[in-house]
Structure 1
Amino acid sequence: MTTIRINDTTLRDGSHAIRHQYTADQVRRVVRALDDANVEMIEVTHGDGLGGSSFNYGFSHTNDLDLIEVAVDEAKNAQIACLLLPGLGTIDDLKEAHRRGARMVRIATHCTEADISIKHFQAARELGMETGGFLMLSHRISPQELAAQARIMVDAGCQCVFVVDSAGALIMEQASDRVAALVDEIGEEAQVGFHGHQNLSFGVTNSVLAVRAGARQIDGSLAGLGAGAGNSPTEVLAVAFERLGIKHGVNVEKILAAAEDVLKPMVDRLPMMDRGSIVQGQMGVYNSFLLHAERAATRYGVPVADILQEIGRRGYVGGQEDMIIDVAVALAS
């Protein structure tokens, strides 16, 4: 029987959906519920990772390092992880997160830029941290090209490379073929993971196919809370995998309660497959752009879907949030 680990990103990717306004008390309650449900890894940071609280990405309500410390204090069994984007977060940030109790880091780069993660993986391994690598917008390159980027991460010290569908653009075999290519390249040396989004409603399906292709870590978030149309819902993943005989160790009843009774009352708006987020999946637009595009649409009187379509045509990637205003101004004029 296949055994996998379900990672929960409610307190990181979910931060996008609430404009990074998590409080320490909310983090404590979510961690308690996830820990009680036997979730083994809980990711906690600003949506854009360590150092993400900024004018360009959005300011956090509470410093993410403080949130990590709260999460570590609350968790009895779960490992607390953080996310780092090289060029935004620094190795000093990583060392401080480790000092606060984070024991895993996922280092995220654009799918063609794995080489900028090398020193960060090396630093994390020197600290004794578990390491994961995020190859974002994985739909942008072929499975073979993605596998070559995964090789760079593994050689640098990455222990699990994730095919990250940052736009919710991958459909079925487009996801599993990428996972299979990574397994062929690094399968004996590191694990492969999958991080899905729901823009075209394939997040859970893609996760199942990823496991069948050899993935051993799968990401979700409670109630799908996350960027764009949201992530694969952790509670749905747990039930689907249980139905399919895929072992994961998460307590299904408790994870359902965590989503329904703990997370949902905290948030004013859950992600949905609306016109804007569907266009993101259609055009391959980075999911964290959605709320930025909505604000620009309101300010300049341009339909949000038009902004996202133009962003897709221009091929913008994570880190270019400030250029969304340029698109809105150009369309308005």
Structure 2
Amino acid sequence: MNPILISDPTLRDGSHAIRHQLTIQQIDLYSKMVEDASVPILEVGHGNGLGASSLQLGESLVSDIDMLATCRTNLRNTKLGIHVIPGFATINRDLKSAIDIGVNVVRVASHCTEADITKRHIEYCRNRELDVYGVLMMSHMAPASVLVEEAMKMESYGAQGIIIMDSAGSYLPVNVKEKIKALVNSVAVPIGFHAHNNLGMAIANSLAAIEEGATMLDATMRGFGAGAGNAQLEILVAVLQQLGYKTGIDLYKLLDASDVAEKEFLKVPYVNSSSIVSGMAGVFSGFSKPVERIAKQYNLDPKDIYFELGRRKVVAGQEDLILEVAVSLSQLR
């Protein structure tokens, strides 16, 4: 069996769950614990990635630079990773500063049909001799053939692996198998999968991905993340160990760390009616907080907002359309 490379975005995707208000003390504590548990990669930053802290997307309590510098001090064997969406993160301001701090892994992301925008960022990071991966977000919105085309673009730019994200938590294992199989058979670089748990399928979908040849998986402590959360790291590592896969992670230390993290700062996500509808509608999991807030403000059922957002094919970065949809639904009522 191939070893499985685990990347932990608890200090990135997890920040969606608490409106990007992770404190420097929490970041310091968590990075020390994952280093001790030998987690291969720790991804750090605003929920939408490097340079994304803003009024529209939510302002981080701690700056990118301070988050990364704190983790860099604590990480020796665990690699320090960042999520980069061109447009939010600039090369000269954001990316250069992060690399100068000592980032090891850069994951350059785009909407699943817009890989062209990642070219400059991927090439820059490869020239700086970093580990560079391409990420296709909201991958449920494109058929396997289109994902293959976009992945091949990222590979041609120099990406050393391709990760597809189930950003809306809408996949079932059969969907994962189809798309991962197509990618594994079409590109030469490793393939990874990033699960969300809106339909309660995050672990099952992660296993479906490796059954079809994926060798990289994302997971967060206690599932801490946007919407109903991500694949739960401790469960995923335990199940992989039971199945005979190697991750290099010390499960006992990971379990101890999860108990401490939950006590100290993790808000444990769960599957509720809104997250189920979000998954069914194919709406970005990070929209859960603003949808709930705006639905309450306009006395609307958040389920109606989700389905309308899904009908309009709204994606991350279009948070302003949540309000537009709410106003429209309110007027119809």
Q: Select 2:291's aligned residue among 290, 293, 301.
A: 293
| Secondary structure of residue in 2 paired with 1:276 | helix
Which structure 2 residues correspond to residues 117-266 of structure 1 after superposition, within 5 A?
117-186=118-187, 188=188, 190-266=189-265
Secondary structure of the structure 2 residue equivalent to 1:68: helix
Equivalent-residue separation in structure 1 for 2:37 and 2:318 (angstroms): 37
Distance across 2 between alignment mates of 1:150 and 1:41 = 22
Specify which of 312, 315, 323 is matched with residue 313 of structure 2.
315
Q: How much does 1:174 deviate?
A: 0.4
Superposition deviation, residue 264 in structure 1: 4.2
CA apart distance, 1:257: 1.4
- Tell me if the contact between 1:30 and 1:263 (Cα under 8 Å) persists in the aligned partners: no
Q: How many residues align?
A: 330
Contact 1:223 1:264 in 2 (8 A): no
Give the C-alpha shift of residue 270 in structure 1. 2.2
Which residue number corresponds to residue 15 of structure 2? 15
SS at match of 2:185: helix
> Cα distance, 1:2 vs. partner?
2.3
CA distance in 1, matches of 2:320, 2:70: 31
Are 2:30 and 1:38 equivalent residues in the alignment? no
Cα 1:91/1:14, change in 2 over 3 Å: same
Aligned to 1:303: 301
Is the Cα–Cα contact under 8 Å of residues 21 and 61 in structure 2 kept in the other structure?
A: yes
Question: 1:15-56: CA deviations, max 9, x gaps?
Answer: 101110111111111111111111010000100111111011
Could you list the runs of 5+ residues in structure 2 that have no partner in the other structure? none
Identity of aligned residues (%): 39
Tell me by how many angstroms 1:114 deviates. Answer: 0.5
Name the SS of the counterpart of 1:288 in structure 2: helix
Cα distance between partner residues in 1 of 2:82 and 2:154: 17
Shift of 1:9: 0.6
Q: CA deviation at 1:247?
A: 1.0
Q: CA deviation at 1:207?
A: 0.7
Alignment deviations for residues 126-161 of structure 1 (CA, whole Å, 9 cap, x no partner): 111111111011111111211111000010011110
Match of 1:328 in 2: 326
SS of structure 1 residue aligned to 2:159: coil
Q: In structure 1, what is the Cα distance between the partners aligned to 2:177 and 2:262?
A: 30
Give the root-mean-square deviation of aligned CA atoms: 1.0
Query: 1:45–1:82: 8 Å Cα contact kept in structure 2?
Result: yes
Gaps of 5+ in 1: none
Aligned to 1:54: 54
Partner of 1:74: 74
